[in-house]
Amino acid sequence: MSSHATLAAAGSEAAVHIAIRSTPPRIWDEVREVWHHRELFYFLAWRDILVRYKQTVIGILWAVLRPLLTLLIFVFIFGRVAKLPAQGMPYPVMVFAGLLPWQLFSTSLTECSTSLITNSNLISKVYFPRLIVPASAVIVSFVDFAISFGLLALLMIFYHVWPTWHLLALPFFTLLALIASTGAGLWLAALNVEYRDFRYVVPFFVQLGLYVSPVGFSSSLVRDKLGETVFVLYSLNPVVGVVDGFRWAISGGRSPTTPEPTAASSPTTPEPTAASTDHR
């Protein structure tokens, strides 16, 4: 065998094949990357807060006026006309305690689902973790929630609903609302990039969810009117647990799923009869 053939055989045996395979990123790698770009997260969140009420007459007071007007409508329709029970709480306090977490959830979901489309120019020009964009939109919704919470405190003082140690659980239910809205919002944001129909679908279902969720009524009505099986299916709505948790924390541990005592279930007292009233 010639020397050239020997070198060719040796070269072919020494050839190295490099295979490049993509692996899905781990969750901690994503979190570490977001933390590395945290300054951009602060900037986008602050930009959205400034732009939200720019060129408006009353500015950030819209964060209080919107839930206040909704409260007045709910109190008139469900409280005065339908006369729904309030489960041992003043009806305006019960409604606003459900309206606050619902608006936090719905606003975060809507803003998060459209965030990638709204910031498409920024995303296409520079690289950064895409998770920062919807996360900054959620922070803006939380600022509105924090401002509106002051109105809930005034309602509690006006109706003499004094907080107890159960109020310490309120941050947990707030975080639960943010996690639920962010999880669904990220999924919808990806779908919105591919299918622009979701830009019209999401607001419709958010508007429908206001009346399906236990905002203007107590969730115990679903159990009393429709039965236990329907109530279990109804509880799959993540807002149900958040709203019930808010009311539980504000009312001092009063369970919103416990039915109010009625005349049949409450201890009865003997009514005066004609014989007893005529007795001298």
pLDDT in tens, 144-176: 899 899 899 999 999 988 888 988 999 999 999
Question: Which range among 61-65, 142-146, 236-240 shows the weakest confidence by mean pLDDT?
Answer: 61-65
> Tokens 């004094």 — which residue?
162
> What is the rounded distance in angstroms from the CA atom of residue 176 to the CA atom of residue 206?
18
Q: How confident is the model at residue 219 (pLDDT cuts 50, 70, 90)?
A: confident
Q: Can you give the pLDDT at residue 279?
A: 37
Structure tokens given for 203: 């607001």
| Alpha helix ranges (H) inside 119-194 | 120-125, 132-158, 170-194
CB 138 within 8 A of CB 181: yes
> Tokens 């279902």 — which residue?
205
Question: Which range among 83-92, 101-110, 213-222 shows the weakest confidence by mean pLDDT?
Answer: 83-92
Entry pTM: 0.77
The amino acid at 221 = L
CB 215 within 8 A of CB 209: no
> What is the rounded distance in angstroms from the CA atom of residue 13 to the CA atom of residue 11?
5
Please tell me whether residue 7 adopts helix, strand or coil conformation.
Answer: helix
For 237, phi then psi, to 5°, come to: -65, 120
Domain boundary assignment for the chain: 28-259
Please tell me whether residue 260 adopts helix, strand or coil conformation.
Answer: coil
CB 134 within 8 A of CB 210: no
